[in-house]
Amino acid sequence: MFQYTPIYLLIDMLTLALELKTTAIGPFISDTLVPLAQLTADIIIIPRFQTKPTNGHEKDISVSACLALLHITALGCMCEQQHIIRFWKLMRFDFVLVMLSTNHPTPEFEMMLRILSTSVFRDSFGAIMGDSAKSIQVVDNILDRLTYTMSEVPLLPGSSEKMDLAVLSKLRFKVIQLMTSMTRSPFASKAMAMHPLAIGRLVGLISDEIDDLYDYKARHEERYISFTPQNFTCQPHHSARIISLTTRLLYYLVTKFDDDIDMQKKLSVIRGGSQKYLLCLSRLNFSEDDLVLESGIDPDVAGCALELLELFVTPEEGDAIHSAFSGP
C-alpha cells in the first residue's frame, strides 16, 4: 500500500520556491517536475475520469495543487521560447484531455485552461507531438472538449444534477477567452476554422446567449441596476460579454478562412443552424445600443454581424431581412 501523506509537503515546498523565484527555478526543474506532477495527479484524475472510486487518496493528493504547480512552472518557462516549448513537449496530450473533462470540479477545468493559454505557438497548440498529423489530432481533440461546454449543460462530477447555469456561463466565457487567444497562432486559428463542430457550436452559443439576454427570467443574475440620488448604474449581463467576445471570434474565423469554410455544412451540426445564424446575426445587427438589454454588447459587434450576414445571404435576402427588422 503506497503512502501519499507527505506529498502535500513536497508540493507546498516547491510551490513556495517557484513563487519566490519563478523564472530562476521553473525552467531548470521542468524536466523532472512536469512528468512527476502529471503522474501524481493521475492517481486521482484517472479514476475520477472513469467514474471510479479514488480509494480515499484525495485526502493526501490535491489535483488543484498539482495543476497550480504546473501553471507556475509554465509561467516561469515563458521567459524564453526554448523553455516553454520544452515544457509542452513534456506535457502529455492524454493528461490535457482528461483534465478537460467535466468529470472534474470546475476550478480544476479552469486551471487547465490557464495552463493551455501558455501553449499558443505559431505551429502548435497544446502538447507538442513532433508530427504534424498528430499535432492536428491533438488540437482537434482539445477543441472537442472545449466546445462541448458551449452546447451542453454538463452534470456535476459524480452526480445526476446539472451544473449551475451561472457557473457554466462563467466557464464558457473563459473557454471563449482561451479560444480567442488561440487566434495568435496561424496553426490554431486554422484548426478552429476547419474543426467540424467549433463554428457551429460558436453560433449555437451566441444564439442561446441572445435568447437569455432577452429573457426577463434570465438564468443568470449578473445584471443589476442600482439607483442612488447621485447616479444610476447598470452592470452588463454576463451574456452580453459572451456575445461580444464570441461574435468577434466567429467574425475572425469566417472572414479569414472564408474560402475554406462551407458554412452550411458547419451550421448543420446544430439543430436549425442556418436559421439560428441568420436570426442571431440579424438581431445583433439591428440591436440598439441605447436600450438597457443591449447596453452590454460592444458597439463593434453590430458591424461584425452585418459583414457576416452579407457573406451568407444574397442581396435580395438581405433586403428582406432589413425590412423584417426595420419595421414599416
**Per-residue confidence (pLDDT) for residue 157, from 0 to 100:** 87
- Spell 222-255 as b/e; 16+ CB within 10 A means b: bbeeeeeeeeeeeebbbbbbbbbbbbbbbbbbbe
* DSSP character at residue 155: B
* Tens-binned pLDDT, residue by residue, of the chain (328 aa): 567 888 999 999 999 999 999 999 999 999 999 999 999 999 999 999 998 998 888 889 999 999 999 999 999 999 999 999 999 999 999 999 999 999 999 999 999 999 999 999 999 999 998 888 888 999 999 999 999 999 889 988 888 899 998 899 999 999 999 999 999 999 999 999 999 999 999 999 999 998 887 774 444 444 444 434 444 444 446 788 999 999 999 999 999 999 899 999 999 999 999 999 999 998 888 765 445 456 678 889 999 999 999 998 766 666 566 666 665 5
What 3-state DSSP class applies to 151?
helix
What 3-state DSSP class applies to 162?
strand
Sequence-ordered list of residues with C-beta below 8 angstroms from that of 203, at least 6 positions apart, any chain: 250, 266, 267, 270, 273, 276, 277, 280
191 vs 285: CA distance, rounded Å: 28
301: which strand partners?
Answer: none
67 vs 99: CA distance, rounded Å: 10
- Cβ neighbourhood burial of 165 (10 Å; 0-12, 13-18, 19+): middle
- Cβ neighbourhood burial of 3 (10 Å; 0-12, 13-18, 19+): exposed
